[in-house]
Structure 1
Amino acid sequence: MGILDVILGRKEKSSVEFVLANATTQATMKNIALDTCVNYIARTFAKATFIKKDKNQKSVFDEDYYLLNTRPNPNQTAAEFWTQAVSNLIRDSELLIVCYQHSLFIADAFVKNEFLTGDEYSGVSIRYESLSRIFTSNEVVYLRNENQALDNFFDSLWCDYADIMGATIGAQIRTGQIRALWSVPSSKLDEKERKSQKQLRENVINEIRKSPVVLIPKKHEKDYDEISNKQATGKGNNVDEIGKAKKFYIDDVANVLGIPNGLIYGDFADNQKNYEIFIETVIEPIAAKLIDGLNHIVYSQSEIIAGHTIKMLGVRRRDMFELSSSIDKLISSGTFNQDEIREELGRSEIPNGDKYSHTTQQSLILIIASGNPLAFLFS
């Protein structure tokens, strides 16, 4: 996102605002739905832990580990930082993380200058402070997250929904509203009186549109007759209709982003299955982009070829008690060691946890030595 995008507000052209409470409080159904879905994705990354691995796949705890998992910069915790990063990536379709003064910052605005030898980034603004220097591609993590379906969805449908939502809210404002009739003199009015009557009618109409209770002045007691909104009596509450409309928006955005709707509303039916789908189709593709970008600035080409890498852990929900039987089989068979299993569970390494079980190997040796295949059953 360049500076011109910020100045011209290009990302806001498709926004359609709706009156939700009163004349001073406005919001958009677009932002409600987008906030709900984007925040759900971003909060998942707040639980992530980034681990550096050397060429022997041993965990490395150094300054980079501290920046990635504790305090990326003086103003944000790691959870806050990654939540904002993922949110920006989805909302703006691009993200720029800058390495500046031994810290990691998310750029508010920047200009990308493309070159065959490596892109450069100028006009970088961080926390409303413009930086004069130019950053090379080796000093930043630049990610794109193209989602043409999401852009087309907002551009084509929000304006169509505006009329429907506006009518629903207008009906709610008029429900139970106090109205009144009053008579005006039938005699000929002069120019000044006509202007006064016209102004009064316009003021009353404006009040009826925005206020639940409208007070209308009366000229004589017998000239004033209060009436109720009888059409609204006994009908359904339009607040429920607004709630249904909001759910409709959220469902559409969730479908575009690939989030199972049940997760957004906390449904318990097939919750674990839906969560696994969410991780595989939404979280892991974004995580892969983040890992690639971080590897680019943390390691050199030779280090990556040698096996150095960064892994992201902690976003999957694992029940260790349900997996205990499978864990025992994986370790006892010698297929995985304890540290590899603990890593998948989001746990830290333990002393001698990188040693493999030799139970299977010892059993095979016993079979060969004894010459009796049944010996394996009693080993």
Structure 2
Amino acid sequence: MGFLDSVLRRNKELESMFDLDLFYETNQRAYLKKLALETCINFIGRTISLSDFRISQDGKRIYNDWDYLLNVRPNTDQSAADFWQGFIYRLILDNEVLVILSDNNDLLIADDFYREEYAVYPDVFKDVTVKGYTFKRTFQMDEVIHITYNNEKLTKFMNGMFEDYADLFTRMLETNKHSNQIRGTVSIESNQSLDEKNQTRLQEFIDRLFNAIRKSAVAIIPKLKGFEYNEVAGGDKAGRSVEELAKLKRDLINDVANILGIPTSLVHGEMAEYETSIKAYIKFCISPLIKKIKDELTAKLITKSDYMNGEKIEVLGVAEMNPLEVANAIDKLRASGSFNGNEIRKMVGAEPVDNPALEEYVLTKNYQRAAEDSLEGGDTENA
């Protein structure tokens, strides 16, 4: 009679289920890096995707092919919002982004390219690849939209600190699993030796019992003569809690957000000091990015002569004030004569309108000098 036959009473169904495997390799927690980057970069990308790119001539908006490409449909496969979100993702993650104009007048974000730099001539881009297709032609610098992010902090952090965070998170996760591990002892009455074959058969039976306990709310285990299973308490209760694991992931996201200039309270959806955080986010994170994009589009889409004649590109829709929230301030600006109506409309992201009244500078009586005030509407005594 075999080693387990006497214990299992010839119940062949219980003899084999799972392999014996007591050792596991530690996996790198690559998703920690992706979690932090996706959270922060997509946060910026969603903000920039709200932008409205306006080409104007002497203050009046021009609707042309570029307006359609930048605001509606850059290419056949992407909307403007998707395009600019992908644009920002590539810019921050790779520290630069290249956009080319295809023969079909589609704006395409390059997945890979080789830049050949020159001292006194325009740089050349070769082997430009988009979605697996590599263009055979070369692109001159004045033919493409190319922006660099120039953030060495993020690159250095990605190459070093993420590995440390991954190791720390892995250790904390293993410690937490160890402290909450279900453990048990098995006693067997047998006079047979525990060679490798018998150990494997025994482990298979034990694993089947454990899975019956783990997967079912109610587990019925056969009580066999000569076989006794006793479950004992878990390990050290001083292991890391789930809250500490979540805190580590939060700290990692905070570090990336600080490098990118995003207030951490906005990333985590905290409403405390929301107004202050959103102003800092717009001023120190979004406005510099918008300035980079605006300068590059102006240099590539508008010639020098057209620019000197009043043609400009403006990026609106992100940093402007909400007119309903600043209605009192708008009234003061208008009443003091500092700005006319159309100038104020630009401040809040609205387009100027062809209304002569809005081109006038109005100064209300409250802002006149005291010596210039008249005594209209009251009685005066004759000397």
Q: TM-score, normalised by structure 1?
A: 0.78
Corresponding residue of 1:288: 291
Q: 2:28 aligns with which of 17, 33, 48?
A: 17
Residue pair 1:332, 1:357 contacting (<8 A) in 2 also: no
2:55–2:313 Cα contact (<8 Å) kept: yes
Change (3 A) 1:230 1:344: same
Q: Answer whether contact 1:121 1:136 (CA < 8 A) is retained.
A: yes
1:157 aligned residue: 161
Superposition pairs of residues 161-310 of structure 1, within 5 angstroms: 161-174=165-178, 176-182=180-186, 189=193, 194-196=195-197, 213=214, 221-231=225-235, 238-310=241-313
Offset at residue 78 of structure 1 (A): 0.7
Pairing partner for 2:92 from 90, 93, 99:
90
Where 1:118 maps in the other structure, the secondary structure is coil
Contact 1:338 1:353 in 2 (8 A): no
Which of 369, 372, 375 matches 1:374?
Answer: 372
Q: Structure 1: which amino acid aligns with 2:143?
A: E
| Higher-Rg member (1/2) | 2
Sort the Cα spacing of 1:356 and 1:362 in 2 relative to 1 into closer, same or farther, 3 A: farther
Task: Answer whether contact 1:331 1:356 (CA < 8 A) is retained.
Answer: no
Aligned to 2:11: none
TM-score of the pair, normalised by structure 2:
0.77
Shift of the 327–136 alpha-carbon distance from structure 1 to 2, 3 Å rule, reads same
Amino acid at match of 1:152: K
Do structure 1's residue 349 and structure 2's residue 352 form an aligned pair?
yes
On the 8 A contact 2:345/2:352 being kept in 1, the answer is yes
Output one character per residue of 1:340-362: Cα deviation in whole Å (capped at 9) or x when no partner. 22222122332327842243499
- 1:138-157 CA-to-partner distances (Å, cap 9, x unmatched) read 21111111211112222222
Q: In structure 1, what residue type is equivalent to 2:135?
A: L
Counterpart residue identity of residue 121, structure 1: F
- Provide the C-alpha distance between the structure 2 equivalents of 1:222 and 1:248, rounded to a whole number of angstroms: 53
Letter in 1 for 2:152: Q
Counterpart in 2 of 1:327?
A: 330
How far apart are residue 194 of structure 1 and its match? Answer: 3.1
CA distance in 2, matches of 1:202, 1:304: 79
Q: 2: CA distance between counterparts of 1:353 and 1:40? A: 41
Question: Is 1:118 aligned to residue 122 of structure 2?
Answer: yes
CA–CA separation in structure 1 for the residues paired with 2:206 and 2:346: 66
1:217-259 deviation line (CA, Å, top 9, x unaligned): 99975444332343366x7883222211111111111111111
1:95 counterpart SS class? strand
Check whether the contact 1:52–1:59 (CA below 8 A) recurs between aligned residues: yes
Equivalent residue letter for 1:157: M
Match of 2:35 in 1: 32
What do the CA deviations read for 1:144-180 (whole angstroms, capped 9, x no partner)?
1121111222222222222321122224444554333
For 1:283 and 1:272, how far apart are their aligned partners in 2?
A: 15
Alpha-carbon separation, structure 1, partners of 2:48 and 2:31: 26
Deviation at 1:90, TM superposition (A): 0.5
Q: Do the aligned residues in 2 keep the contact of 1:72 with 1:81 (CA within 8 Å)? A: yes
Over 3 Å counting, the alpha-carbon distance change for 1:343 and 1:358 in structure 2 is closer
Instruction: Summarize deviations over 1:14-71 as a string: whole Å, max 9, x none.
Output: xx832xxxxxxxx5211111111111111110111111122x2322121111111111
Q: Does the CA contact (< 8 Å) of 2:266 and 2:274 recur in 1? A: yes
Deviation at 1:277, TM superposition (A): 0.8
Cα pair distance change 1:185/1:139, threshold 3 Å: farther
Between 1:85-94 and 1:327-336, the stretch displaced more is: 327-336
Identity %: 29
Q: Is the CA contact 1:111–1:123 (under 8 Å) kept in the aligned structure 2? A: yes
**What is the rounded CA distance, in whole Å, between the counterparts of 1:114 and 1:219 in structure 2?**
78
How many residue pairs get aligned? The number is: 343
1:336/1:356 contact within 8 Å kept: no
CA displacement 1:99-119 (0-9 Å, x = unmatched): 112121111111111123101
Aligned to 1:373, the other structure's residue is in SS state helix
- Matching residue of 1:24: none
How far apart, in 2, do the equivalents of 1:91 and 1:221 lie?
Answer: 63
Runs (4 or more) in structure 1 with deviation over 6 Å come to 184-188, 200-207, 217-220, 361-364
For 1:149, the aligned partner's letter is: K
Mapped to 2, the partners of 1:43 and 1:360 lie a distance apart of 41
Which structure features the higher share of helix residues? 1
Q: CA RMSD in A?
A: 3.7
Cα gap change, 1:376 to 1:187, in 2 (>3 Å): farther
- Which structure 2 residues correspond to residues 42-57 of structure 1 after superposition, within 5 A? 42-54=45-57, 56-57=58-59
CA–CA distance in structure 2, aligned partners of residues 309 and 99 of structure 1: 20
Q: Distance in 1 between matches of 2:205 and 2:123?
A: 60
Ranked by relative contact order (alpha carbons within 8 Å, sequence separation 6 or more), the top structure is: 2
Q: Distance in 1 between matches of 2:165 and 2:222?
A: 40
**2:338 counterpart SS class:** coil
> In the alignment, residue 305 of structure 1 is paired with which amino acid?
M
Paired residue for 1:58?
A: 60
**Structure 1: gaps spanning 5 or more residues:** 1-15, 19-26
Q: Is the 8 A contact 2:40 2:256 kept in 1?
A: yes
Change (3 A) 1:200 1:39: farther
Deviation at 1:185, TM superposition (A): 8.3
Residues 194/117 of structure 1: CA separation in 2 closer, same or farther (3 Å cut): same
